[in-house]
Amino acid sequence: MRYLTYCLLAAAMFAAPAGATYVEPTMGGGQSAWGEVAMKHADISFTNGTIDVVIDESVPIPWLVPLEEGLSFDPEGIWGMINGDAYNFQYGWNPSRFDAYPPDNSSIWIEQLDASPELRTYQRPPANPEGQPIFGTDGSSLRWRWSGSMTHNLYAIANPLESEYFATYRVYIGDDSTGEPLAGFVADEVTFTFFTNPVIPGDYDRSGTVDLADYATWKASFGQSAPPGSGADGSLDGTVGLADYTVWRDHFSANAGVFAPSEQVAEPSTEWSLCLLLAAVGLSRFRRG
């Protein structure tokens, strides 16, 4: 009877995936309301053959913010690749003062010189195609040709472990096709800085503490698919399973002294694990049939 109960519980956990509400990215990350955060421009000027870039310091440093639990970007849509990520697109390249256009067969280019390795960048309109990786993301070129129009590219990071990230750029006049710098012009450099709240492994409800509430979150979502690193997917494999329990257990144990002994949670038994496996196999066969 005990085995039957285990297996029925396991089957129920697999058979009841929670639906996600699809949303679109917002400037301040998460689902910030329009107008809640301001654009932070890097104003580009080209005068007397010299590029100058000035960041609007009146706007606070942007925060990379993930979606709240239950929200998601359409996995098949343009922004499906940032599901589970903390993101922001407040920084924008913006035209300022020009006393001339770049010469024929040249453009203003922006090259990433250095950046936090985990930080990824995707272009946004008016740059086309929307969502294309740039600045070294997914093997893309470190050079990006600016259109001359205000452009707010999107920055994202999966499972941030630090509280601050950065990207440093050189803005220069380069060959229209290759991006090679042209002689006779002066370039400028600028650094974008971002803040974020580091993810604590096992903190599945994002409360800032690994506790029993995170176990409840894991238990409620066991067997469900999730954007890697989101929800209770502590193992980053896209599925809430036993590996994610292990992540929670290991980090809960480090703080176990703050809980009474009666609050300790038993590790899933071998019987329980076997039933979970059998339930998964059975559900898979049922779906194929």
Dump pLDDT digits (tens) for 89-135: 999 999 999 999 999 999 999 999 999 999 999 999 999 999 999 99
Determine what percent of the chain is predicted with pLDDT higher than 70: 80
The parts of the chain modelled with pLDDT lower than 70 are 1-20, 227, 253-289
Q: Which of 219, 224, 208, 209 is nearest to 245 (CA)?
A: 219
Sign of CA dihedral 175, 168, 101, 126: positive
| Three-state secondary structure call for residue 114 | strand
Instruction: Report residue 211 as tokens.
Output: 């506790």
Q: Decide: 159 and 196 in contact? Cβ < 8 Å.
A: no
DSSP E strand stretches across the chain: 21-22, 40-47, 50-55, 63-64, 71-72, 85-88, 91-98, 106-115, 120-122, 133-134, 143-145, 154-158, 164-175, 188-196
Q: Which residues of 136-175 are buried (b: 16+ CB within 10 A; e: fewer)?
A: bbeebebbbbebbeebbbbbbbbbbeeeebebebbbbbbe
pTM (2 d.p.): 0.74
Residue 261 preceded by cis peptide, ω within 30 = no
CA 219 → CA 73, 87, 269, distances in Å? 24, 27, 14
For the record, the structure tokens of 120 come out as 């990824």
